Amino acid sequence: MTAKILTILILSFVAGGAVLGAEQDAQTEREEFFPLLREGFVLDGVEGTVIRADEEKDKWLFTPDVDVSDGRGIIKAAQPIELLPSSTLEKIIAGIEEAKTTAGIRLWATVTRYSNRHLLTKDTPTNISFHEDFFDKNFLLAWYFIPMSEIEEPQRKTETDEIAAETPASAEQSQDDAIIPVDVMAKLKPKRMVNLAKLKKLDITGDVMLADRTGFVVAGQAGKMFKIDGLGRNVEDISFRLLPCEVLERTEANLARSAYRQRYRIAGRLTKYKGRFYLLLKRAVRTYNHGNFAR
């Protein structure tokens, strides 16, 4: 009997270790493919390209020209990151459609991080990361940009011998004695310059901050919505689409634990995109009615 108990305990430890090892491998693999930046990190004038991710869906990506890091996570150069709806993105798209090409820009944006772990409630495995629809990634909320244009390299007139004929011997000697080689200098030259023609026409509608507003987080066809509660006053039925961020993720965790709808006092950044209002939550604190207001 004792031998059977020992055998069962040994098998349990082995199985548990295998599961733990698989979870650690999955976490390590996710960190390699999702080098996430922290919520609230700001891209400060990073140059890159904006492209449409899908012709049918209104989804846009920003591909930086250089590595972007907050000291912990990193977005590698040429690694696309999704842009959230905003008034600035609408201006970027207008420039792309006018030029009928991809947009090279210098971008200022706020980084958000969001996971849908609290929405996967049906047939959820023990480790949520193994769910086929699970994601945990960064987004960008753009709030300013400068249009850039490619620098046109002047074409060389003739072959090397003619260039050498026009170049004094002293200049050739100085190139040989230069601290930085010529081929390295060519790589250091900027590939883009500020497009002043487009910059003059640029008129971005500024976003506004929404603070100390009370309402409900409800599910809509396009995702979660924040619906303002008038608390008995004659207030119009106003609601905003919520953008993915860590505050929304925590709010969804609270909603998943309760069968009743919950009232929140929120603060966030309000932006407008193609005629619809979107809200990036900065804070969401649950409020309680203590029985003196209707649910």
- SS3 track for the chain: CHHHHHHHHHHHHHHHHHHHHHHHHHHHHHHHHCCCCCCCCEEEEEEEEEEEEECCCCEEEEEECCCEECCCCEECCCCCEEECCCHHHHHHHHHHHHHCCCEEEEEEEEEEEEECCCCCCCCCCCCHHHCCCCCEEEEEEEEEEEEEEECCCCCCCCCHHHHHHHCCHHHHHHHHCCCCCHHHHHHHCCCEEECHHHHHHCCCCCCEEEEEEEEEEEEECCEEEEEECCCCCCCCCCEEEECCCHHHHHHHHHHHCCCCCCEEEEEEEEEEECCEEEEEEEEEEEECCCCCCCC
- Spans of all domains in the chain: 38-150, 208-287
Nearest to 114 by CA among 252, 270, 246, 272: 246
pLDDT tier at 162 (50, 70, 90 boundaries)? low
**In CATH, 38-150 is 2.40.50:** yes
The predicted structure's pLDDT at residue 4: 56
Most confidently predicted of 14-18, 100-104, 123-127? 100-104
Fold of 208-287: OB fold (Dihydrolipoamide Acetyltransferase, E2P) (2.40.50)
d(CA 282, CA 208): 13
Most confidently predicted of 24-33, 190-199, 247-256? 247-256
The predicted structure's pLDDT at residue 14: 47
Contact 88, 94 (CB under 8 A): no
pLDDT in tens, 233-290: 555 578 899 999 999 999 999 888 877 778 899 999 999 999 899 999 999 999 876 5
User: Which range, of 19-28, 53-62, 81-90, 170-179, averages the lowest pLDDT?
Assistant: 19-28
The predicted structure's pLDDT at residue 171: 46
Q: Would you call 11 exposed, middle or buried from its count of C-beta atoms within 10 A (0-12, 13-18, 19+)?
A: exposed
**Does residue 8 carry a pLDDT above 90?**
no
d(CA 15, CA 69): 38
The predicted structure's pLDDT at residue 113: 96
Bridge partners for 42 per DSSP? 110
Which carries the bigger pLDDT value, residue 152 or residue 107? 107
Alpha-carbon distance values, 55 to 62, 102, 142, 209, 275 (Å):
16, 13, 21, 32, 20
Most confidently predicted of 41-50, 155-164, 286-295? 41-50
**Does residue 98 carry a pLDDT above 50?**
yes
Which carries the bigger pLDDT value, residue 253 or residue 195? 253
Query: Mean pLDDT, the chain, as a whole number?
Result: 76
The pTM of this model reads: 0.71
The predicted structure's pLDDT at residue 79: 93
Contact 40, 111 (CB under 8 A): yes
pLDDT in tens, 111-160: 999 998 888 865 555 677 777 788 899 999 999 999 887 665 555 555 55
The predicted structure's pLDDT at residue 261: 79
The predicted structure's pLDDT at residue 228: 86
Nearest to 266 by CA among 219, 229, 227, 213: 213
Evaluate whether 38-150 and 208-287 have a shared fold: yes
The predicted structure's pLDDT at residue 233: 56
